[in-house]
Amino acid sequence: MVLLLQYTIIFASVLCLVALGGCFSEHSGVINLGLEGIMVMGALGGAVTMFLLPASSAKIVIVLCTTLAAILVGMLFSCLLAVACINFKADQTLIGTAMNLLATAAATVFVRAMNTSINPDNVSTSIQYIQEKKAFLKYFGKFEFNWFMVMAVVLLIASYFLLYKTKFGLRLQACGENPQAADSVGINVYKMRWAGVLISGFLGGLGGIVYITAGVSEWKFEMGVAGFGFLALAVMIFGQWKPTNIALAALLFGLFRALSNVYTGIPFLAAMNIPSTVYNMLPYIISLIVLAFTSKNSRAPKAEGIPYDKGMR
Amino acid sequence: MKEKNLLKNPSFQAILTSLVCIVLGLLIGFVVLLMINPAGAGEAIKTILLNFLTRASAAAQMKALGNTLAKTAPLLMCALSICFCYKVGLFNIGAPGQYEAGACIGLYAALAWHCNWVICLILAAIAGAIVGAISGTLKAYRNVNEVISGIMLNWIMLYMTNMILSRKAVKDPASPYTIKLASGNKGALIPSAGLNKLFANNTTVTIAIPLAILFAILIWVILSKTKFGYELRATGFNKEAAKYAGMKEKQNIIVTLAIGGALAGIGAAFLFLTGYQEWSTTQTSVPGMGFNGIAATFLGGLHPIGTIFASFFIQSITDGGALINKSVYPSQISDLISSIIIYLCGFVLFFKFALNNWIKKKEKKEVSKVEGAAVKAEGGDK
């Protein structure tokens, strides 16, 4: 049971962070299908930092450096989306898909090149960071507490305030709802959209490093992040683009993911003998059903997916 | 004058932009190779580009070409699925899910029900079409964006396929893969009709390859030469206008995605019913075939015929990547190149726009020059 709780909270933290990232991007009017890719790149940045830092470094140094590296790489990678979709008005679905493929390929190439340059016989696609990873963990009895859980909660509250209680957040939302109107009152739509995408890079990159340090024991980069970016997209939709609902949705979907990992350890669930694939499938099925019933009067930002063109009114 | 006309020609523009994307993609790939190890980078990029031509003997070359072609056929089908839907204004990112459904039912019919290949193929197409139609129905009646429902269905179908193909009747008990068709049910293998003789007895070369090309031509004819295709495209262009003109716009959306789904489903059958590979029931990521299809579609200039060549190119560099010196370079370098190419394809519209603008400006300048000269000449006369 402790294991289930632990997995649920850590998966929920990942999903919540990444879904909030998607939420900012979409509120600014850009659909971010590249979340999965941003997560991979963030994970790569964080993992390489952990690998490079000596294991004897102070815990706080490891935590801060890794987090910052993941955020930075995530934001850098999200620039690819911003440049193409905001400045060059490219198809957002196409660019997002390209970014997902690009991130996995680039991360794999990078990690393998790094591994072979250190040891020519090492052709694996994983980075060793088991020692450094311990900096993030703290044990309360059997419960493995992770500092990222705190970060997720703090960023959730911060996101709520940023989106609803600040001038910036309201302007950002205006750009996703009606960019022409926003422009007419002097808001720079391009800048706001850039901000939205960069914030999604920030949160997505962080989500990536949380996933690989906490959710799984060892990570092969050729696997990407196993669809967590897309699951986060589902969380965002189920949460109807609102931070508080996103947090609840993340908990629910995190629970499903956790169940698929540990259900064999819980007697009554093991007795039901539902294959783990069902738990993996459920979040997607639920989101699809929710979509079917809510999309008629959807809460989705109205102008999302449409490149903003100053000349069109 | 002639050169300018050529630049204005849309198909020439499409080919030009695709070539620019390819060259840039290869260039970036080459730079990455140089950064990893400058000594063999030239050799490596040559291997990626030449693929089967780097094999020693003519027979080995033909055999390798056969392998590439065998995988091009399913890729082409996925690309056609995306291309067809895109022409009708729908982004069928659900192609991988439809592909999974086709693989699931196709293999299940082959191994559990012992159907022959024609029935398996048809069932795979139907399975893909149903998954496509789900997206279509949600879009038409419930206003759900087909991209989002497609992504959800990709994952639902992945897990469902894993579950169904893990059953005793179809899964090899000793491995995570499904039973080999050659031992499970030979009748479900797509016949070769002598084509394998051309490719040094490569048994994976089947009539799937010419069939895929026929499908490409068929899609082109349907889209550009028939009333049906016209109606579909009109719906994609402006749903309200199509409705006003008396077309059944909702039905058209569903039909489009169902056709797209059928194409992707057939694509899966074209891979798994040739015995080229088996389905791994433990895979945790959506197969790349559908996503590579997006690359082939956009690289092919969103034209069914261009897609044929683009699919071959994408598959060829992917196979070429597997041939490079793996102790120095990672084979994923070709995935990197093709993903960069897809990314660059996003800029194609902008590039064309800029090109056309540039041509217009230049023409205007020339016209005003001629006019200016004429005015001068007139002035001189008086």
Give the residue, B93 or A303, on which the prediction is more confident. Answer: B93
Spell out which residues of chain A touch residue B298, defining contact as CB-CB under 8 Å.
94
As a whole number, mean pLDDT of residues A256-279 equals 76
* Domain assignment present for A292: no
As a whole number, mean pLDDT of residues B348-369 equals 82
A292 inside 8 A of chain B by CB: yes
As a whole number, mean pLDDT of residues B213-227 equals 92
As a whole number, mean pLDDT of residues A173-180 equals 88
Give the residue, B43 or A265, on which the prediction is more confident. Answer: B43
Is pLDDT above 60 for B3? Answer: no
pLDDT for residue A299: 66
As a whole number, mean pLDDT of residues B77-85 equals 93
Interface of A with B in 118-177 (CB under 8 A): 120, 123
CB-nearest to B342 from A97, A113, A224 is A97
Return the top range by mean pLDDT from A17-26, A209-218, A283-292, B286-295.
A17-26
pLDDT tens for each residue of A13-43: 999 999 999 999 999 989 888 999 999 999 9
Alpha helices in chain A (DSSP H): 2-27, 35-52, 59-82, 92-118, 130-133, 147-164, 167-177, 179-184, 189-210, 228-238, 243-262, 267-272, 276-294
Q: How confident is the model at residue B1 (pLDDT cuts 50, 70, 90)?
A: very low
pLDDT tens for each residue of B135-192: 999 988 888 888 889 988 999 999 999 999 888 888 888 888 888 887 777 778 888 8
Q: Which residues contact A239 (CB under 8 A, 6 or more apart)?
A: A19, A23, A245, A246, A247, A248, A249, A250
Please count the CA atoms within 13 angstroms of the CA of B292 that sit on its side-chain side: 28
- Lowest mean per-residue pLDDT among A108-117, A140-149, B3-12: B3-12
Is pLDDT above 70 for B336? Answer: yes
Q: Are B204 and B274 in contact (CB under 8 A)?
A: yes
Q: Are B211 and B80 in contact (CB under 8 A)?
A: no
Is pLDDT above 70 for B382? Answer: no
pLDDT tens for each residue of B52-61: 777 777 788 8
As a whole number, mean pLDDT of residues B218-238 equals 87
pLDDT for residue A298: 65
pLDDT for residue B148: 86
pLDDT tens for each residue of A73-127: 999 999 999 999 888 888 888 899 899 989 988 998 888 888 887 777 777 777 7
User: How many structural domains is chain A composed of?
Assistant: 1
Nearest to B240 by CA among B352, B369, B354, B89: B89
Spell out which residues of chain B touch residue A100, defining contact as CB-CB under 8 Å.
291
Is pLDDT above 90 for A158? Answer: yes
Q: B36, B159, B161: which to substitute to probe chain A, counting the most A Cβ within 10 Å?
A: B159
Mean pLDDT of chain B: 85
Q: Are B146 and B257 in contact (CB under 8 A)?
A: yes
As a whole number, mean pLDDT of residues B33-58 equals 80
pTM over 0.90: no
As a whole number, mean pLDDT of residues A189-217 equals 88
Token code pair at residue A234: 């589902």
* Domain assignment present for A255: no
Spell out which residues of chain B touch residue A292, defining contact as CB-CB under 8 Å.
138, 142, 144
Give the residue, B295 or A158, on which the prediction is more confident. Answer: A158
How would DSSP label each residue in B117-185? HHHHHHHHHHHHHHHHHHHHHHHHHH---HHHHHHHHHHHHHHHHHHHTTSTTTB-TTSSBBPPHHHH-
* Domain assignment present for A199: yes
Token code pair at residue B177: 């893969």
CA A61 to each of CA A144, B297, B344: distance values in angstroms, whole numbers, following the listed order: 20, 47, 38
Mean pLDDT of chain A: 85
Whether residue A102 and residue B340 make contact (CB cut-off 8 A), yes or no, is yes
Token code pair at residue B264: 């992707």
pLDDT for residue B216: 94
pLDDT for residue A6: 85
Spell out which residues of chain B touch residue A288, defining contact as CB-CB under 8 Å.
138, 144, 149, 152-153, 156
Distance separating alpha carbons of residues B23 and B107, to the nearest angstrom: 39
Q: Which CATH architecture has domain B2-363?
A: Orthogonal Bundle (1.10)
Whether residue A89 and residue B138 make contact (CB cut-off 8 A), yes or no, is no
* Domain assignment present for A205: yes
pLDDT for residue A302: 78
pLDDT for residue A312: 64
Q: What percent of chain B has pLDDT over 70?
A: 96
Is pLDDT above 60 for A66? Answer: yes
Distance separating alpha carbons of residues A129 and B270, to the nearest angstrom: 42
pLDDT for residue A276: 78
Q: Which amino acid is present at A213?
A: T
Using DSSP, how many helices (H) and how many strands (E) does chain B show?
17, 0
Is pLDDT above 80 for B205? Answer: yes
Q: Are A182 and A189 in contact (CB under 8 A)?
A: yes
Q: Which domain holds residue A144?
A: 10-224
Structure letter (DSSP) for residue A137: E
Is pLDDT above 90 for B75? Answer: yes
As a whole number, mean pLDDT of residues B69-96 equals 91
As a whole number, mean pLDDT of residues B340-357 equals 84
Spell out which residues of chain A touch residue B332, defining contact as CB-CB under 8 Å.
105, 108-109, 112, 222
CB-nearest to B330 from A88, A108, A275 is A108
